[in-house]
Chains A and B, each alone.
Chain A
Amino acid sequence: MKNIKFINSKVLLLLACISMAVVGCDRDISDDAIEAGFPQNGDVFIDGFSAGLDYFPFGDSFFEAFSVDTETTFGGSDASMRFDVPNEGNPDGGYAGAIFRTSSGRDLSEFDALTFYAKGSEARTINDIGFGQDFGENKFQAEITGSLQLTTNWKKYIIPIPDPSKLTEERGLLWYAEGPEGGTGFSFWLDDVKFEKLGTIAQPRPAILEGNDLNETTFIGSQRPLTGLRQTFNLGTGIDEIVKAAPGYFNFTSSNPSVATVNELGVVNVVGMGTTVITATLGGIDAAGSLTLESLGEFTQAPIPDRDPENVISLFSDAYTNIPVDYYNGFFAPFQTTLGGAPPLNIGGEEVINYTDLNFVGVGTFLNVSPIDATQMTHLHVDINVQEAIDAGDFIRLEILNGVQTPDEISGSVTLNSSQLVSNGWASFDIALGDFAGLSVRDQLGLLFFVSDATVSNIYVDNIYYYKEVIDPSPNVDDSGATQVELPIGWESTTLTYDFLGFAGSDPAIEANPDPTGINPTANVMRTTKTVGADFFAGTFVNLDAPIDFSTSQKLRMKVWSPKLGIPIRVRLENADNSVGIELDANTTTSNEWEELEWDFSGMNTAPDYVRVVVFFEFIPGVPGDGSTYYYDDIQIIN
């Protein structure tokens, strides 16, 4: 059907060309002749589709939502428009939404409102309903958002046209979008849908930026879309009606075009240094709201990440394909002061987040998007540029939450102190996820907080991503010729006695490598089975004959084999009487194959003589042993 229509419109276009050519021969046409306009037909759906109107559902909506109803109609008309909003999770589309477009333009400039009668199978509020969407430029789109309240009786509704003089060739006569509420759908009906001249639509009060006067700093190359565009009218009932209005209705002005310009889509482009004020008019009336921009000149972008995209889950970076997020600023009431991030800035085509008035702010991935499974990731990366002097007590605490708003919600945090932050420059942070103490599980990451408690108030943030550090496997350890038990250990000596012991339900033994493939083909490995019912802290230790030498490096590596992905392995180093110990977690990033993990004890107390290496698999408080068998091998300090 649609193809046929398309061909027809081409034919029409051809005919139109021919007729224009004919008119073009006529040289006697008077200067006073009025240009033939488009038909001034305001009818949309009276007793059926008006001329040329067709139904185009949104691509991801429930296509069967719309039907023509000949039984439930208003005022005895022949037919009404019926919309069946699906239940949540409907496999054929989770919401109802469509545009109703004519095959050629209509001149609606003599009307002042789209009106219709409507009722619902129950009292509900329509998400969006309006006109001006044509699947083209949508230049004069307008809608009522979240405030059109249906009742179960027929009632007349009025959607004022923000500026009728713009609608001289409009094809988008009606559009709507409505989703289930509380999980369930419903039905609603529209009838007698038409544009009309009410004469009582008055007192226009346009606004940009929701009528706010905003002050922002910016840089050359920034792109800043103007949001909150709307028109408010007083209806004949005395009630104000707010209509969201597309940028096409407005004329935008920059007081200093050498600093910034505004295009017809309402996007501000910063082109120079200095200050400018962005304002707008609609239909000759000054819009409330303004944007005062102070451009500070050129912007230095954050370092470009170079990690293999295969090993990255990116929340916010131009270098990677970002996963969907709920927001970059959750605006948590009532205590949050932080502004910015909604949306991120666009500077010279690169996006960057500028948080101002920072006390805390969260990047959310738990409401309408899938939480992040960072089980295979090892680190969090973030670049931070502090836009102010840094005092001794300043800090930014990064806090990660797993299982947000579930009974299993847990969190861990790492604090970046004043010596790590950089004033007016980028500092790059790569933080091992194991350092987020308490974040023992990270398969459902839902929030990443930046917390400064207002010690730092203005920061740029870029390249927020989790990544898996891929370690070039270190050489296999052959300690068959060793004279004492010391690092490196490869469990290959037949002459030494390895003094090891399992505790709290751990059952260890040195055995032949069960899987001599991949990065670990050596003959012997340590097996440790966490028996059923073992304490969560069940582990295996080996005593060393010589203390660990941390003089050239503090990074301990070990090859591990686990049947479970994403479980923490804790390594604890102890001195002889266990009066001093240091410990760290690293998570497995694969299963049923050998991998090498790193425990970086840099910055920890490595001075004592550590002569015992304790290894705990699946060190999660409250999780008892389940009989899983783990292996480890090649314990070494490596630079």
Chain B
Amino acid sequence: MLIRTDKKYFKMKNVSLITCLLLIVFVFTNCNTDETQTVTTLNNLTLSQEFDVNGAPDPTIWTYDIGDGSDIGLPGWGNNELQYYTDRPENVVIENGMLRITARQESFEGSGYTSARIQTKDKFEQQYGRFEARIQLPWSQGLWPAFWMLGSDSDEVVWPLTGEIDIMENRGQEPTLINGSVHGPGYSAGEAITKSFELENDRFDTGFHIFGIEWGPNYINYYVDDVLYNQITPEDVTGEWVFNKPFYIIMNVAVGGNYPGPPNENSVFPQSMLVDYIRVYQ
């Protein structure tokens, strides 16, 4: 998520390819007696974060990104984001069985907003599998919640070569939409491979929804709840496929930045992203 874009990008030939792939999936699943779409196939749990113990996230799994990005030479985290990330309970805490990441409007260390970003680098990394989380999103112009992953070699290999899988990201001003994307060499930022998913007669900030991917050699399937809405394969990306290696998980709520634009006078703070669980399967 170092540099993003708000362009929705999809090539026609890819659509037809995916349609073919989806048809294949349907053909297989049609063997079942019921005709419900098979969204996931991997069921061996390798990480279960249920957030049942009040307090800070499990330090054996999670570390905090702190600050406004200046420490790593990227003020605004490379996206003109406005928040200062902290590890304070006001910004990140587990309570009532939920991980709560809260963006606040407050003057803090030179920034106008605070929030939190936690990640599993060097603590939990996995190549392939099923990654899903049950989340209720914040809302309002300028909020940018995300559940995403970076390649575990992100310290050695520069972005976008390291690869980025955005399982879910959302603009607070689009309460019915989320986007799933991949970034890699030749298809990052404005050229990222992305697809949006829209809820019908519902929205993402009024209840919990499951956001996930099932990722294997040369494919990533994106789903929301029981709807598989996209598959990305090496055929779809306009560069090297960099997703055959371990990745780690990142959860955050950004404020402002290139993707949602800044908050406005109608934005409401504080805003929380509630995460019921994160589960990873192999």
Contact = CB atoms under 8 A, between A and B. Distances in A.
B281 to A, nearest CB: 31
B139 A199 contact: no
Interface string A173-208: 000000000000000000000000111101101000
Interface string B151-178: 0000000000000000000011111100
A388 B206 CA distance: 52
Contact of A198 (B139, B171, B201): B201
Nearest to B173: A238
A197 B202 CA distance: 10
B174 A238 contact: yes
Given A234-B139, A238-B141, A199 B202 contact: yes
Number of chain B interface residues as a range = 10 to 19
Per DSSP, are chain B's interface residues mostly helix, strand or loop, or mixed? loop
B15 to A, nearest CB: 26
Contacts of B195: none
Contacts of A198: 201
B266 A236 contact: no
Nearest to B171: A238
Interface string B171-190: 11111100000000000000
A205 B268 contact: yes
Contacts of B172: 238
Nearest to B176: A236
Interface string B111-155: 000000000000000000000000000011100000000000000
B191 interface: no
B203 interface: yes
B203 A236 contact: yes
B214 interface: no
Contacts of A203: 139, 205-206, 268
Contacts of B201: 197-200
A199 B268 contact: no
Contacts, number: 35
Given A234-B139, A236-B203, A238-B141, A200 B268 contact: no
Contacts of B139: 202-203, 234, 238
Contacts of A236: 175-176, 203
A198 B176 CA distance: 12
B202 A238 contact: no
A240 interface: yes
A202 B268 contact: no
Nearest to A232: B266
Contacts of A202: 139, 175, 203, 205-206
A247 B268 CA distance: 25
Nearest to A198: B201
Contact of A200 (B140, B173, B203, B266): B203
A238 B175 CA distance: 6
A87 B154 CA distance: 69
Contacts of B266: 240
Contacts of B176: 200, 236
Contacts of B140: 234
Contacts of A199: 200-203
Nearest to B203: A200
Nearest to A199: B201
A203 B205 CA distance: 8
Given A200-B202, A234-B175, A238-B172, 15 more contacts: A197-B201, A199-B200, A200-B175, A200-B176, A200-B201, A202-B139, A202-B203, A202-B205, A202-B206, A203-B139, A203-B268, A236-B175, A238-B141, A238-B171, A238-B175
21 contacts: A197-B201, A198-B201, A199-B200, A199-B201, A199-B202, A200-B176, A200-B201, A200-B203, A202-B205, A203-B139, A203-B205, A205-B268, A234-B139, A234-B140, A236-B175, A236-B176, A238-B172, A238-B173, A238-B174, A238-B175, A240-B266
4 tightest CB-CB pairs across the interface, nearest first?
Answer: A199-B201, A238-B173, A202-B206, A199-B202
Interface of B: 139-141, 171-176, 200-203, 205-206, 266, 268
